[in-house]
């Protein structure tokens, strides 16, 4: 076993000044949606396993609901880590990094932070991330160039936030999983 010591600034990420997860409510919604779709999918499979006329259709629809909610659960379990070398979004085993060298500035709004890079941008919505005020302070402690704006983020920035769309998709998928189960039971 070997250990390699890398100097700061190589984009490997240092010790995080702050690590943040999604808010508890949306995280619980994602867990509930996954469990509901999984149970509904298992019951659907149990109902159609004996040569049901629409066996393939119900199977694919049930698996699609489980797939949607598993992606939603994975997204809600992702974390944002801020360190002097940049910002990382992801999990312990995989993630995406916006390195400090790419970062042009962080636009701090009342309802989110826009991380503007040389190519593209990220928007971290206050609605999506727990302890948002600490997230803003961590960006400042990391020495990233920030510009404070005393208003809400512009629409083009807020459209990058996935929270409301993801929550709506999870609720619709739970309803769809229940409807598929009902249709399989009725047919």
Is the residue at 177 inside a domain?
Answer: yes
Residue 76's closest CA among 134, 145, 29, 125?
29
Q: What pLDDT, on a 0 to 100 scale, did the predictor assign at position 1?
A: 35
pLDDT at 185 over 60: yes
Average pLDDT (19-25) is 90
Q: 168 lies in a domain? A: yes
Whether 5 maps to a domain, the answer reads: no
pLDDT at 129 over 90: no
Q: What are phi and psi of 15, to 5 degrees?
A: -70, 125
Angle at 62 between CA 51 and CA 163, to 5 degrees: 175
Q: Is residue 53 part of a domain?
A: yes
Question: Using 50, 70 and 90 to split pLDDT, how confident is the model at 52?
Answer: low
For residues 73 and 160, give the distance between their C-alpha atoms in angstroms, rounded to a whole number.
18
Question: What is the model's pLDDT at position 14?
Answer: 58
Mean pLDDT of 111-128: 85
Residue 164 pLDDT:
84
User: For residue 2, is it within any domain?
Assistant: no
E strand segments, 55-178: 79-83, 86-90, 95-99, 103-109, 112-117, 121-125, 146-148
Comparing 109-113, 126-130, 152-156, which segment has the lowest mean pLDDT? Answer: 152-156
> What's the rounded mean pLDDT across residues 1-27?
64
Reduce the DSSP state of residue 70 to 3 states and report it: helix
Residue 14 falls inside a structural domain: no
Q: What average pLDDT does the segment 120-134 reach?
A: 86
- For the stretch 55-111, pLDDT in tens is 888 999 999 999 999 999 999 999 999 988 888 888 888 888 888 888 888 888 888
pLDDT confidence of residue 13 = 52
Q: Which domain holds residue 114?
A: 23-86+97-186
- Residue 2, phi-psi category: left (phi > 0), alpha (psi -120 to 50), beta (remainder): beta
| H helices present in 115-162, as ranges | 132-141, 155-158
17 lies in a domain?
Answer: no
Q: Which residue has the tokens 């000044």?
A: 17
57: in domain: yes
* Number of domains within the chain: 1
Give the integer Cα–Cα distance in Å for 41 and 185.
12
């Amino acid at each position: 076993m070997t250990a390699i010591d890398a100097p700061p600034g190589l984009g490997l990420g240092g010790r995080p000044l702050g690590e943040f997860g999604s808010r508890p409510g949306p995280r619980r919604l994602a867990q509930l949606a996954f469990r509901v779709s999984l149970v509904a999918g298992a019951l659907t499979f149990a109902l159609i396993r004996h040569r049901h006329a629409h066996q393939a259709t119900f199977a694919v629809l049930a698996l699609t609901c489980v797939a949607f909610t598993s992606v939603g659960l994975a997204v809600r379990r992702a974390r944002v880590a801020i360190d002097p070398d940049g910002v990382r979004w992801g999990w312990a085993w995989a993630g995406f990094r916006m390195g400090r060298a790419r970062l042009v500035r962080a636009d701090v709004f009342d309802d989110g932070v826009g991380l503007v890079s040389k190519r593209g941008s990220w928007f971290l919505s206050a609605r999506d991330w727990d302890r948002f005020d600490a997230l803003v302070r961590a960006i400042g402690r990391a020495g990233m160039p920030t510009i404070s704006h005393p208003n809400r983020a512009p629409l083009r920035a807020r459209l990058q936030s996935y929270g409301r769309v993801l929550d709506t998709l999870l609720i619709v998928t739970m309803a769809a999983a229940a409807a598929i189960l009902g249709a399989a039971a009725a047919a």
